[in-house]
Structure 1
Amino acid sequence: MLTKNRYSIKELLYWTRKETFYIGLYVTLIAILYSVVGLEFLNLPWTPIALIGTAVAFIIGFQNSAAYGRIWEARKIWGGIVNSSRSWGMKVRDMVSDEKEVHILVYRHIAWMTALRYAMRQARTWEVSHKEKTNKEWMDIIKPPEKQLALEEALRPYLDAGELDYVLSKNNKQTALLYIQSKHLKRLQEDGKLWEFSFLELEKLLEEFFTLQGKSERIKNFPYPRQYATLSHFFVRLFVLMLPFGIIPEFVTIGESLMETHPLIAPYFKWLCIPFCTAVSWVFYTMERIGRVGENPFEGSANDVPISSISRGIEIDLRQMMNEDHAGIPEQFPQYHHVQL
């Protein structure tokens, strides 16, 4: 998640530099064919182009609104995980008298958060933004922790060997960890180490973790409807392809009208269509791409929910709560280019 106040135009242009170059090259080609070669039939009425542009603007607006809604919902879900995790640490510490059992329950919860964030980082077939060149460059520079360390190694510090093997044998590893937590609480209650009321309170928190996990998995496993994503993708490109055929003749006409009043400027005015048309096309393309990247809030891009940093922050809080040596507590994941991972 980006932490500084705003993107700079420089960063946006760098992010879309490849597409911007091709758009500018395409507009220049059409301008040369129309103005130099004399292919004046490369002319479309401005009204239908403007109507298509208006429709595309509505579609992009809908896509960006839906994408932001998914990001915001994901952020609220992980905010709930933060609050419930702190409650878990507090109640386990105060309701379970055996320090060894407290340590096991808290560390297993950290393992649950670790397994959940790894599951959220796994690529789905409909997640294609990471395949684009500039997004690949981003991932090569700033790799989420889940891409640098295997899940087994990430879980090893928090689970004993038997539990680790059991969890790794399951498809849904985070669910397996919550089941283990529930069985552990039941055993403590049967052994008289946990009051009935405390057992019920902690079970409610496990139920809340199941709910939050399910909500997070729902966003991950249910993509933004592909018909909307695909149509906006193609409609923007259709608009970008048609735009020069309406703008270039307009600039040529304006240039001709300036011949009497501004004879020095008039012959060259028509070439202003190239930066103008490129700029308009860039705006539409960039807005569509922002919405496309924001559809999946767990991929690890600059605008996604920083689930790695959130999980590590909770881990630090819980382990400090248990009065562990600060030297043994891992540090928060670093920010790169003002982005939380």
Structure 2
Amino acid sequence: MYTRRTYKASELFLWTRFDTLRIFFIITLWVLAYYFLDIAWLQIPWTPIALIGTAVAFIIGFQNNAAYDRIWEGRKIWGGIVNTSRSLGMFLQDMITNEHAKEKQSDEVLKEEVKTLTYRHIAWMTALRHAMRVPKQWETTVNQKTNQEWGIRPPEHLSTLEDDLKPYLSKEDMEDLLNKDNKQTALLYQQSHHLRKLKESGLIWEFSFLELEGVLKDLFDLQGKSERIKNFPYPRQFATLNHYFMWILLLFLPVALVPQFMEIGAGLANSYPMIGNLFIWFAIPVYTAVGWVFHTMERIGRTGDNPFEGTSNDVPISTIARGIEIDLRQNLGEAKADIPEQFEAKFNVQF
């Protein structure tokens, strides 16, 4: 139901074009130097290049696996929020009754209690997704030029948390919430206090109260897991050194690759003089392809390190939260016109 974008070949080229041009510029300078200057003596054996390349490929693979694990864990966490939220909505409607009430309440009062608790849960999801979008100093992918040029931003960057919370909370709840730093935690505390009052009045049976408190505990667990991914970055010693190792490989590779093409050209010169003379220029497309593969693989790992940053490749927590809200409010019996629509996908991107 909730998927990320799929890249066309043209979009992938646009996404990597500046880095590709940088790689193309590096190899062109080396080929020009070898072709017009007498520096054929400047070359490196393939053995150290192969050793560096092996190390870089290994560490890039390690980073990409770790980044994928972080993305997939984030998706599982928010999948858990989906399931737990649906269970909570069902429990609230069927566990808040007059069966054990000390003073019987009207159906309207019971429905209002269910609505208040359901809306506060929607506010909790809203606060959590806003917290996940707060920029961290290590989250730099979203600021890269090729990630900004389409001009698409997550909904949390287009509105304030206070404005997004107002439709779901009472004035008293909002005043209490604004004094708290961790607003999603404060909302779960409000939920627990509200449930306790309903239990004391008999509108919730004691065993039902324990069941609902268990659901709140599950939500705390899911919130904590989501916050753990957000607040603990991919270890910088791996990410930073990986980036430097990749560039060491790309900077040293021409000194081994271009002389190799010169030797092949010299071997062809006797039979095919023109091809032999120009064969060195084939090093440009070959190096550009190799450099593009290594650099793009390393960039994919960097892009996936922070799955809640707000780029087009992150876990679509805004879409997930809005989908849960639509489900809950429809099952409250609200008119479709009163329920907000799903966030619009732009350029096939869900946030």
Instruction: Answer whether TM exceeds 0.5 for this pair.
Output: yes
Counterpart for residue 320 of structure 2: 310
Report the more deviating stretch, 327-336 or 61-70. Answer: 327-336
Q: CA deviation at 1:197?
A: 1.2
The CA distance in 1 between the partners of 2:305 and 2:158, in whole Å, is: 24
The CA distance in 1 between the partners of 2:298 and 2:4, in whole Å, is: 22
Residue identity in the other structure for 1:115: A
- 5 Å-filtered alignment, 1:9-24, equals 9-24=9-24
1:144 aligned onto 2:160? no
Asked if structure 1 preserves the Cα contact closer than 8 Å seen for 2:258 and 2:283, the reply is yes
Residue identity in the other structure for 1:189: K
Residue identity in the other structure for 1:38: D
Asked if structure 2 preserves the Cα contact closer than 8 Å seen for 1:2 and 1:302, the reply is no
- 5 Å-filtered alignment, 1:257-276, equals 257-276=267-286
Counterpart for residue 157 of structure 1: 167
Counterpart for residue 184 of structure 2: 174
Residue identity in the other structure for 2:319: S
**Partner residue of 2:293 out of 277, 283, 289:** 283
Q: CA deviation at 1:51?
A: 1.1
- 5 Å-filtered alignment, 1:21-100, equals 21-97=21-97, 98-100=110-112
- Structure 1, residues 164-216: CA drift from partner, whole Å, max 9, x if none? 12212211000000000000000001111111111111100000000000000
Counterpart for residue 105 of structure 2: none
Report the more deviating stretch, 263-272 or 109-118. Answer: 263-272
The CA distance in 1 between the partners of 2:36 and 2:47, in whole Å, is: 25
The CA distance in 2 between the partners of 1:237 and 1:200, in whole Å, is: 57
**Partner residue of 2:343 out of 333, 336, 341:** 333
- Structure 1, residues 261-310: CA drift from partner, whole Å, max 9, x if none? 33332221110101110111111011001001100000122221000000
**Partner residue of 1:220 out of 230, 246, 263:** 230
Distance 1:309 1:58, change over 3 A: same
Asked if structure 2 preserves the Cα contact closer than 8 Å seen for 1:2 and 1:303, the reply is no
Q: CA deviation at 1:10?
A: 1.9
Report the more deviating stretch, 163-172 or 79-88. Answer: 163-172
Asked if structure 2 preserves the Cα contact closer than 8 Å seen for 1:2 and 1:338, the reply is no
Output the TM-score relative to the length of structure 1: 0.96
Asked if structure 1 preserves the Cα contact closer than 8 Å seen for 2:129 and 2:318, the reply is yes
Percent of aligned pairs with the same amino acid? 58
Asked if structure 1 preserves the Cα contact closer than 8 Å seen for 2:269 and 2:277, the reply is yes
1:123 aligned onto 2:165? no
The CA distance in 2 between the partners of 1:224 and 1:187, in whole Å, is: 43
- Structure 1, residues 87-140: CA drift from partner, whole Å, max 9, x if none? 0000001111300000000000000000000000111111121232212324xx
The CA distance in 1 between the partners of 2:10 and 2:3, in whole Å, is: 16
- 5 Å-filtered alignment, 1:289-304, equals 289-304=299-314
Counterpart for residue 101 of structure 2: none
Q: CA deviation at 1:3?
A: 3.9
Residue identity in the other structure for 2:164: A
Residue identity in the other structure for 1:100: E
The CA distance in 2 between the partners of 1:168 and 1:135, in whole Å, is: 33
**Partner residue of 1:132 out of 123, 131, 144:** 144
Asked if structure 1 preserves the Cα contact closer than 8 Å seen for 2:4 and 2:316, the reply is no
Counterpart for residue 237 of structure 1: 247
Counterpart for residue 113 of structure 2: 101
The CA distance in 2 between the partners of 1:59 and 1:233, in whole Å, is: 10
The CA distance in 1 between the partners of 2:325 and 2:186, in whole Å, is: 19
Query: Which secondary structure does the structure 2 equivalent of 1:40 belong to?
Result: coil
Counterpart for residue 111 of structure 1: 123
The CA distance in 2 between the partners of 1:8 and 1:305, in whole Å, is: 20
Q: CA deviation at 1:260?
A: 2.6
Query: Which secondary structure does the structure 1 equivalent of 2:273 belong to?
Result: coil
- Structure 1, residues 222-273: CA drift from partner, whole Å, max 9, x if none? 1111100111010011111111111111111111111233333222111010
Q: Where in structure 1 are there 5+ consecutive unaligned residues?
A: none
